[in-house]
Structure 1
Amino acid sequence: MAEGSTKFIKLKIKAQDDTILHFKVNPSTIMKDIFMSYSSKKQMMNYKIFRFFFDGKRLSPKKTVNELGLKNGDEIDAMIHQDGGGSACNY
């Protein structure tokens, strides 16, 4: 690639309610920046309430688009993190 030319990648992030947001990113963009942008568009203050997955594997916010092997048109799943799963009490 010639210096000064940038090839962008279009990614989709799909929420649990099936809404999709589209992002046009540089391959060297770290995922944290994308996650923060997604959270902002969803009017959430902290991206860490979401878990992001691609092909069933959780994405690291420290990796770049290239490092994760994401390609043009790939779809990322966004799930809201929920704590819990404690034992049920029988009264």
Structure 2
Amino acid sequence: MSTVRSDITDDGNSSVNSSINNGGEVIDQKEKRIVLKTRYHYRDDTVRYFKMNRNKQFEKLMKCYCALQSLDFDNTVFFSYGRRLSPEQTPNELDMKNGDEIEALID
């Protein structure tokens, strides 16, 4: 299983950063940012880490993830702990914490 970390910038682009703590645990020192673990099980079980502001909508993360994984955004559904995520939602709205996992599934 490979691990990749991406930072989502305000313009929706991502930059890849390979610095992951031992054991895959990600700790972000800034409270206004959150690091989320995103996984797509059906291809290669690659885990990608995205760092984003807690009050930013998931849409940028979802579109960036789909582009990196060559998935069709309109046919991909994202879940976190059994609840479907909407592109308009934010990590703050869902009370998400660092390291929470998001799963991508084909609709």
Structure 2 partner of 1:85: none
1:48 positional shift? 2.0
Equivalent pairs counted in the alignment come to 76
- What is the SS of the residue equivalent to 1:65? coil
Structure 1 partner of 2:80: 54
Matching residue within 84, 88, 98 for 1:72: 98
1:6 positional shift? 6.5
Q: Which amino acid aligns with 1:8?
A: R
Give the gaps of 5 or more residues in structure 2: 1-29
TM-score by length of 1: 0.74
Matching residue within 35, 60, 67 for 1:10: 35
- What is the SS of the residue equivalent to 2:60? helix
1:63 is aligned to 2:92: no
TM-score by length of 2: 0.64
1:49 positional shift? 1.5
Partners of 1:48 and 1:12 in 2: CA distance: 21
**Between structures 1 and 2, the one with greater strand share:** 2
The list of structure 1 runs, each at least 4 consecutive aligned residues, that deviate by more than 6 angstroms after superposition, is: none
Bigger-Rg structure (1/2): 1
Partners of 1:50 and 1:69 in 2: CA distance: 23
Give the gaps of 5 or more residues in structure 1: 82-91
**Percent of counterpart pairs with the same letter?**
38
- What is the SS of the residue equivalent to 1:51? strand
